[in-house]
Structure 1
């Protein structure tokens, strides 16, 4: 339930962020506002020194009283931890900043809340960010390109996610996230699609946050894993959405990803088999050719072995 006296809840999920969490928290606590805000930290049972760093800030920082810290008893995964954190946010607005990113402008919250207060037809506002590379250099955003017509759910559905998480402030319009969201392996894009059903999106001009490149879970995933997660996410979106036009757009995206995913899988397993058998067979040997033709049996090892035995018995 929304707290009428609390304007913003900052939602921060964290896991094994001992190198980054202090900077993330301090970027929130330095905010200068004419309203009250809180920082919700949901720690997914970090095994490193992340909890000690957080507790030290709560105890010793002059703004530590704003922090509500929750530590899971066991690791429940990023999506479940994020849903838990969302359920703890009682403010009129919710801001996002994961534990490995950070804010750079002390007026960030004030600017974004002022915009949303003055423009009730907008549900969410976001802004450009800087990107911190692993070597320590900071660049302008080279990952996303925000389209000119960025405000509608149709554009967001058609072009994909062009919103960086640490830039987001949105109205706390939904008391609980839908069942389909819990099943999705990707949360941020799905959340923005949900919110875009309540109003327009606004891109502000000030650069007020930094995103760490090649640090998060997604950065360490293979192209196959990313494609697989996208297929699952689109399925969950289609189950949630009621607007037929938006559902059709998402379905078309899913079909394209499925096709790309199949092609990647076919290429991957062909390369694996060729590498495995190249020392035993000449590439044009009939057995090797037959094995390449059987790549689509990789999901059923027993059937694959049966087919190989049949080939060898000829």
Structure 2
């Protein structure tokens, strides 16, 4: 029997997540709400047992879990899997969680829905989360956009970059899903341009609670594919710069200062990775460098003057997140 009056559609994109998909689904099923929700899963022709695991859950919860099992990988063909999955959404709101991540709080959907219902001007509701290593789920760090609840301005969303909000915290009205400016389709990453677009359509509210977990160090993940070498990082930041240029034009250059600051910040990180420390601390990068956190500056100092120790620490960190 299909559920009626669905208020929230969960958007779950998955590919070769056999080790993680069950935990993601369990975190959806544990949600305690006073409304109906649906779980929309798009399996992009996984070559492992991901699809089989989803099918087992589909048999147990046919009224809740609505999968798509692709026979050919759509992402590799350039087809937007997110839009494919959301074409069938019936909810008033969309909650995002990819198949290798999961939620921690059983009241996550209820809290975000309650906020949205009381604040119709809100176009995006996000929250804090834990960053855990892929294998043992040990907490590596916390993704917290602010100490305390906060409404974020467009400028802050742009300057904060893709790491400002944890992706599986994003919750927004379905009516905005069809608002698709050109800049949304210019990068291989979707969360950052989506956050920018939603910030242009209403208010962005951050709930200062750790309600989800993001896995770091997942083999074959977007980060693993696109941020594993300087060449790939450079290509990624070039994509982001082109996207931001399109945002600049789309907004009639209203946020040009924030856009340039974000672009310079990304360029600064690339300079640091190349060991160009003097260049990173001067000219247009100087003010941005001075704004970096204390811990980041310590690592930069060690990279510059104690590179052997720094390498040992970074290797230890990589082992931790596996």
CA distance in 2: counterparts of 1:108 and 1:242, whole angstroms: 33
2:254 to 239, 245, 258: 245
CA distance in 1: counterparts of 2:198 and 2:47, whole angstroms: 33
Which segments of 5 or more consecutive residues in structure 1 lack a partner in the other structure? 268-314
Match in the other structure for 1:217: 222
Give secondary structure in 1 for the equivalent of 2:27. helix
Match in the other structure for 1:187: 190
CA distance in 2: counterparts of 1:193 and 1:127, whole angstroms: 16
CA contact (8 A) 1:28 1:39 kept: yes
Match in the other structure for 1:88: 88
CA distance in 1: counterparts of 2:159 and 2:268, whole angstroms: 17
Give secondary structure in 2 for the equivalent of 1:38. strand
Q: How many residues align?
A: 263
CA distance in 1: counterparts of 2:170 and 2:30, whole angstroms: 17
CA distance in 1: counterparts of 2:142 and 2:107, whole angstroms: 25
Q: CA RMSD in A?
A: 2.8
CA contact (8 A) 2:182 2:246 kept: no
- TM-score (normalised: structure 1): 0.74
CA contact (8 A) 2:129 2:142 kept: no
**CA distance 1:251–1:102, shift in 2 (3 Å):** same
> Residue deviations 1:263-286, cap 9 Å, x none?
86898xxxxxxxxxxxxxxxxxxx
CA contact (8 A) 2:131 2:140 kept: yes
CA distance in 2: counterparts of 1:251 and 1:173, whole angstroms: 30
- TM-score (normalised: structure 2): 0.73
CA distance in 1: counterparts of 2:147 and 2:232, whole angstroms: 27
Within-5 A mapping of 1:83-162: 83-134=83-134, 136-139=136-139, 141-142=141-142, 145-146=145-146, 151-161=152-162, 162=164
**CA distance 1:105–1:257, shift in 2 (3 Å):** closer
Match in the other structure for 1:200: 203
> Residue deviations 1:3-48, cap 9 Å, x none?
9932111000000000100110111122121111111111111111
CA distance in 1: counterparts of 2:5 and 2:256, whole angstroms: 37
Superposed displacement of residue 160, structure 1 = 1.7
**CA distance 1:71–1:247, shift in 2 (3 Å):** farther
Which segments of 5 or more consecutive residues in structure 2 lack a partner in the other structure? 277-322
CA contact (8 A) 2:93 2:171 kept: yes
Structure label with greater radius of gyration: 1
CA distance in 2: counterparts of 1:264 and 1:120, whole angstroms: 43
CA contact (8 A) 2:45 2:69 kept: yes
